[in-house]
A and B are shown apart, each in its own frame.
Chain A
Amino acid sequence: MKINKFIVFGLTKLTLIHILLMSVAVTCLLPIFWMVRCAFMSNETIFTDKALIPQQLELGNFVIAWTQGYFAVYLLNSVIYTVCVVTGIVLIASLAAFAFSRLKFPGRKVLFYMFMAAMLIPLPGSFVALVVLMNKLHLINTRMGYILCMINVGLSMSILLLKTYFDRIPHDLEDAARIDGCGKIGIWWHVALPLARPAIAVIVVFNSLTVWNEYILATLLLGDSQLMPLQRGLMVFQGANSTDYPVLMAGLTMAAIPVILIYIAMQKHIVKVFSSGEVTG
């Protein structure tokens, strides 16, 4: 009898959990379904056809979005920017976070709080100063300039996240590595980075999304159409008086896919369960 009660209790609990998960999942899927649905409609039917699945599927919107928006060039640029910025952030932020968490040096606290404060203080109006400075450094209208700018955008938050995880690495592991003859850089590479893999995965996803969707700095710093990222192409559709919504939706759908793929790829690192005893907080 007792076991039965437990099973019933467990089943109701599981059902409740599934109902919660399912209902939230539906609200998350609805917009993506709607977006894709709109991408397959025509400009005339998009606001009038109320059917869940449109009667006529228009595939042409994707073609138009791809060809008219110079998607191929922009897509390549976006990939370059995302890869460079994210790699840069992971390396630079993890080095800094490792130092803030594990190494002792003068000015450690001050520097760390400086980075944290930067996250909190918005910089409006500074875009003028930034463009002037970039021009002086001959970085305006270059990939390098934009990449460095975007690295800076994601730096503070990534340092904070990584430091939180580095702080949880037990000291014995570090000592063991030191006995094995690892220097500071060795401990960072062999101990800290592998252990912070879930955090790095989160950072990769987070910053990819930021870079992928950024267009304000791109507009300010890149005047050459050969250098522009994807989101700029999409903003062009939006700037039109007569917005072609199905094409816009097709473009947005295509633009969302890579980020979701990055997320799925990173997912397996995020859910990687540590072997017991490795991290005990």
Chain B
Amino acid sequence: MNPRVQSAAILKNNLQSLLFVLPAVLIFCIFYIYPFLNMIFLSFHEWWGIGPMHFIGLQNYTEIMSDGLWWDAIIHAGYITLIALTFQNALAFALALACDRDIRMGQFYRVVFFIPPVLSEVVVGLMGNWILNPGLQEGQHIGLLNHFLSISGFPHLVHNWLGDPSTALTTIAVVHSWKGFGWGFIMLLVGLQTIDKQLYEAARVDGAGAWKIFTNITLPMMLPVILVVMVLTILGSMQVFILILSMVNQGLVNHTDVPVTGILTSMIGHGRFGYACAQAVIFGMILVGVAFIMKKLSDKVKQA
């Protein structure tokens, strides 16, 4: 084959391959890249959503750097994410492992665990008020949780869960984890199902215990899926906000602020579109940084 024909073949091959990604890239460019560039553009401006824009250079960014509340909000989101990564994912994995076997009512559990993600945030907010209401009526606790605590002999644990800065964020994180574990559960279950059961058999024949099978077979095989679940958890938890709005409205002073509520406040509350966009850029950069670190870590683990 002469080189020109060969390079023509490579070109044709490349073009064919590019055709596969073309629809995705096309939609992506129109509906993401264009608004994205617009956002970057806006982040250098002062703009109220209507009327003329004023170019102010990096002023929005320098303001963010000294905006203590913004960085607090990032820490709050980080805290929620940390709880989701540990508590939520551990729960999801445990439940997936339990369901990845012939177990009675397995089908039932698989459906039931998916109910929280399906529920509208409206329902969760109303439920939250029903369960966590700190009020009293005629000496009776209105909230289900406090009522339960007081009648079951733990009246000293009765607490204003969402109204106390020391417990508000944790309460939100727990509810968030409850609402989100179903996704991790499904994805991990799918991952577990694809592991060849013969591998377990072989290991068992070799005399490996349950723990050994788990660490030597299940975990390594599941690593890519676990990684995806972790990435999605970080994403979902860092960007949480509807749940917070529905549970504590505009927030408990600034103790329940997260980046997305901060961005929304800047944009809708203060009408500062430019500043909101700059906040989004910074927030995006932080998330990309986290994702990058995670990828490096996973590469290391894979090599080991």
* Direct contact between A and B judged by beta carbons closer than 8 A: yes
Please list the residues of chain A having a beta carbon within 8 angstroms of any beta carbon in chain B: 14, 17-18, 20-21, 24-25, 27-29, 31-32, 34-35, 91-93, 95-96, 98-100, 103-106, 111, 114-130, 133, 137, 148-149, 151-152, 155, 157, 159-161, 164, 167-168, 184, 188, 198-199, 201-202, 205-206, 209, 213, 234, 238, 245, 248-249, 252, 255-256, 259-260, 263-264, 267, 270-274, 276-277, 279-281
- The verdict on A120 contacting B193 (CB below 8 Å), with A149-B31, A184-B16 known, is no
Instruction: Decide: B103 and A17 in contact? CB cutoff 8 A.
Output: yes
Q: How far is the CB of B10 from chain A (nearest CB, A)?
A: 10
Instruction: Decide: A28 and B115 in contact? CB cutoff 8 A.
Output: yes
Which positions 260-296 of chain B face chain A at CB distance < 8 Å?
Answer: 260, 263-264, 267, 273, 276-277, 279-281, 283-285, 287-288, 291
Instruction: Decide: A92 and B113 in contact? CB cutoff 8 A.
Output: no
Say which residue of A27, A100, A125, A198 sits within 8 Å of B273 (CB atoms): A125
Please list the residues of chain B having a beta carbon within 8 angstroms of any beta carbon in chain A: 13-14, 16-18, 20-21, 23-25, 27-28, 30-32, 34-36, 38-39, 42, 49, 91, 94-95, 98-99, 103-105, 107-120, 122-124, 126-127, 130, 178, 182-183, 186-187, 189-190, 193-198, 221, 224-225, 228, 231-232, 235, 239, 260, 263-264, 267, 273, 276-277, 279-281, 283-285, 287-288, 291
Tell me which residues across on chain B come within 8 A of A14, comparing CB atoms: 103
- The verdict on A198 contacting B25 (CB below 8 Å), with A21-B109, A271-B110 known, is no
- The verdict on A124 contacting B127 (CB below 8 Å), with A252-B122, A279-B196, A281-B195 known, is no
- The verdict on A95 contacting B23 (CB below 8 Å), with A17-B103, A256-B118, A270-B190 known, is yes
Instruction: Decide: B94 and A20 in contact? CB cutoff 8 A.
Output: yes
Instruction: Decide: A133 and B34 in contact? CB cutoff 8 A.
Output: yes
Say which residue of B42, B112, B285 sits within 8 Å of A125 (CB atoms): B42
Cα distance, A164 to B39, chains bound together (Å): 30
Extra contacts besides A95-B23, A122-B263, A271-B193 (11): CB < 8 Å: A28-B115, A31-B116, A31-B124, A34-B130, A99-B21, A115-B24, A125-B276, A155-B28, A202-B187, A234-B120, A263-B114
Main secondary structure of the interface of B (DSSP, over half): helix
Q: How far is the CB of B22 from chain A (nearest CB, A)?
A: 9
Tell me which residues across on chain A come within 8 A of B195, comparing CB atoms: 281
Instruction: Decide: A111 and B291 in contact? CB cutoff 8 A.
Output: no
Interface core residue of B39, B186, B267 (most chain A CB under 10 Å): B186
- The verdict on A100 contacting B21 (CB below 8 Å), with A34-B130, A271-B189 known, is yes
Tell me which residues across on chain B come within 8 A of A252, comparing CB atoms: 120, 122-123
Q: How far is the CB of A136 from chain B (nearest CB, A)?
A: 11
Say which residue of B117, B228, B283 sits within 8 Å of A164 (CB atoms): B228
A to B CB contacts below 8 Å, 20 in the list = A29-B112, A32-B115, A92-B23, A92-B24, A95-B20, A95-B23, A103-B20, A104-B17, A120-B235, A120-B287, A124-B267, A128-B273, A149-B31, A202-B190, A209-B117, A252-B120, A260-B114, A263-B118, A270-B110, A280-B196
Say which residue of A21, A24, A34, A255 sits within 8 Å of B120 (CB atoms): A255
Q: How far is the CB of A107 from chain B (nearest CB, A)?
A: 8
Instruction: Decide: A27 and B178 in contact? CB cutoff 8 A.
Output: yes
Instruction: Decide: B196 and A160 in contact? CB cutoff 8 A.
Output: no
- The verdict on A34 contacting B127 (CB below 8 Å), with A27-B178, A105-B18, A206-B183 known, is yes
Instruction: Decide: A264 and B28 in contact? CB cutoff 8 A.
Output: no
Cα distance, A18 to B123, chains bound together (Å): 28
Cα distance, A99 to B235, chains bound together (Å): 24
Q: How far is the CB of A72 from chain B (nearest CB, A)?
A: 20
Instruction: Decide: B194 and A248 in contact? CB cutoff 8 A.
Output: no
Q: How far is the CB of B77 from chain A (nearest CB, A)?
A: 12
A106's nearest neighbour on chain B, judged by CB, is: B14
Tell me which residues across on chain A come within 8 A of B98, comparing CB atoms: 17, 20-21
Q: How far is the CB of A250 from chain B (nearest CB, A)?
A: 12
Instruction: Decide: A164 and B224 in contact? CB cutoff 8 A.
Output: yes
Interface core residue of B49, B105, B119 (most chain A CB under 10 Å): B119
Cα distance, A256 to B279, chains bound together (Å): 34
Tell me which residues across on chain B come within 8 A of A123, comparing CB atoms: 32, 35-36, 39, 280
Cα distance, A257 to B30, chains bound together (Å): 34
Interface core residue of A24, A118, A120, A209 (most chain B CB under 10 Å): A120
Q: How far is the CB of A190 from chain B (nearest CB, A)?
A: 15
